[in-house]
C-alpha cells in the first residue's frame, strides 16, 4: 500500500511539474508574440508616416504587398473597371454595419490593383446594399494605404460569389474573375477627381501592444501556483510522515521493551542480594 501511495505521489508530482513547464512555455510564447506585435507596430508607424510613392515602386516585379509594406502610404493612377467591382459584406465602422466597395484600377503599366473606395453604411433594419456611387470615368489618382490580402479559414468568404465577398483576397478574386491582380489592395484616403461623399473614409489602425503582456503574467502565475502547491503538499506530507514515526517511540512496542528491561534489572537485584531480600 505504501509503495502504491508513493507511486501515486510521484505521478502527481510529475504531472504538476509538467503543468508548470507548459504554463511557463505559454508565458514565453505570449512574450514572443508581444515582441512581434511591437515590431509590427513600429513598421506600421513608419509606413503611415512615409511620403506617398507610386504603388509600382513598392510592390516591384513580384506584384505583392508584403508584410513590410502593410499600411504603407502610396499613390495609384489609372482607370477604374466597374464591370469587375465587388461588394464586401459584414463590415463595421464606428459600430455601424455596412459594406465596402472594391473596384479594380488598371494602372499605366497594365497591372491591376484592387482599390477599397470606402464604406457605405446600410440602412436602418435593412441588409440590402445601398446605392453604390459610380466610379469616376477616365483617369484617376488615388492616395491611400496599402494592405495585404485578407485571409481567413472560411473559403466561402474568400471566393467572390455574385459580385460580393466577405474578404478582400486578391489571389482568390483573380482566380474567380480570371483577371491578374497585384496581391494586396489600396485603402483609399483621397482621390482626384474627388470621391463621392456617400463613401465614409475607413479609420487608421489602432496601434497598441494588445493583451499579450497580461496573458504572459497569467501563465507565469499559473506556473508559480502549480510549483507552490507542489512544495506545500510535499512539506505537509513530510510532516505527516514524521509524526507517526515520533509517536512510535512511545508506542506499544517501546512500552513492552521498557517493561522487559525493568524486569531484567529486578531479577539481577534479587540474585545479588540487593534490596528486596526478606
Grid cell 502527481 — which residue? 12
Q: Which burial class, exposed, middle or buried, applies to 168 when counting CB atoms under 10 A from its CB (0-12, 13-18, 19+)?
A: buried
Q: Give 110 or 3, the one with higher predicted confidence.
A: 110
201-205 contacts at long range (C-beta below 8 A, 24 or more positions apart)? 201/118, 201/119, 202/93, 202/100, 202/116, 202/118, 202/119, 203/93, 203/94, 204/48, 204/145, 205/44, 205/71
Q: What is the pLDDT of residue 5?
A: 60
Q: What is the pLDDT of residue 22?
A: 96
DSSP three-state, residue 96: strand
Q: Does pLDDT of 136 surpass 60?
A: yes
The predicted-structure confidence for 6-22, as pLDDT tens digits, reads as follows: 788 888 889 999 999 99
Q: Torsions phi, psi of 52, nearest 5? A: -65, 135
d(CA 225, CA 231): 10
The predicted-structure confidence for 108-126, as pLDDT tens digits, reads as follows: 999 999 999 999 998 776 7
Q: Does pLDDT of 212 surpass 60?
A: yes
Q: What is the pLDDT of residue 101?
A: 97
The mean pLDDT value of the chain amounts to: 84
Q: What is the pLDDT of residue 156?
A: 65
The predicted-structure confidence for 170-194, as pLDDT tens digits, reads as follows: 999 999 999 999 999 999 999 999 9
Q: Are 165 and 158 in contact (CB under 8 A)?
A: yes
Question: Mean pLDDT across the stretch 58-76?
Answer: 94
Q: Give the residue among 158, 97, 173, 168 at the shortest CA–CA distance from 130.
A: 97
Q: Does pLDDT of 266 surpass 70?
A: no
Domains of the chain, first to last: 43-192 (2.40.50)
Amino acid at each position: 500500500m505504501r509503495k502504491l501511495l508513493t507511486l501515486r505521489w510521484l505521478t502527481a508530482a510529475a504531472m504538476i511539474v509538467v503543468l508548470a513547464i507548459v504554463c511557463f512555455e505559454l508565458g514565453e510564447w505570449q512574450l514572443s508574440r508581444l515582441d512581434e506585435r511591437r515590431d509590427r507596430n513600429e513598421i506600421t508607424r513608419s509606413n503611415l508616416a512615409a511620403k506617398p510613392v507610386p504603388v509600382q515602386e513598392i510592390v516591384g516585379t513580384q506584384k505583392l504587398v508584403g508584410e513590410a509594406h502593410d499600411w504603407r502610404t502610396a499613390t495609384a493612377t489609372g482607370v477604374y473597371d466597374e464591370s469587375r467591382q465587388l461588394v464586401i459584406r459584414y463590415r463595421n465602422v464606428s459600430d455601424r454595419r455596412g459594406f465596402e466597395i472594391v473596384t479594380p484600377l488598371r494602372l499605366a503599366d497594365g497591372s491591376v490593383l484592387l482599390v477599397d473606395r470606402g464604406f457605405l453604411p446600410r440602412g436602418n433594419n435593412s441588409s440590402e446594399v445601398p446605392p453604390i456611387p459610380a466610379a469616376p470615368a477616365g483617369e484617376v489618382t488615388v492616395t491611400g494605404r496599402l494592405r495585404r490580402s485578407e485571409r481567413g479559414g472560411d473559403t466561402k468568404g474568400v471566393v467572390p460569389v455574385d459580385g460580393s465577398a466577405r474578404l478582400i483576397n486578391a489571389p482568390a478574386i483573380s482566380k474567380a474573375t480570371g483577371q491578374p491582380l497585384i496581391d494586396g489592395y489600396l485603402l483609399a484616403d483621397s482621390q482626384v477627381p474627388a470621391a463621392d461623399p456617400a463613401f465614409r473614409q475607413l479609420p487608421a489602425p489602432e496601434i497598441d501592444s494588445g493583451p499579450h503582456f497580461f496573458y504572459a503574467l497569467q501563465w507565469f502565475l499559473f506556473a508559480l501556483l502549480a510549483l507552490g502547491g507542489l512544495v506545500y503538499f510535499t512539506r505537509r506530507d513530510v510532516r505527516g510522515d514524521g509524526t507517526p514515526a515520533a509517536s512510535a517511540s512511545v508506542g506499544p512496542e517501546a512500552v513492552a521493551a521498557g517493561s522487559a528491561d525493568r524486569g531484567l534489572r529486578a531479577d539481577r537485584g534479587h540474585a545479588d542480594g540487593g534490596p528486596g531480600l526478606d
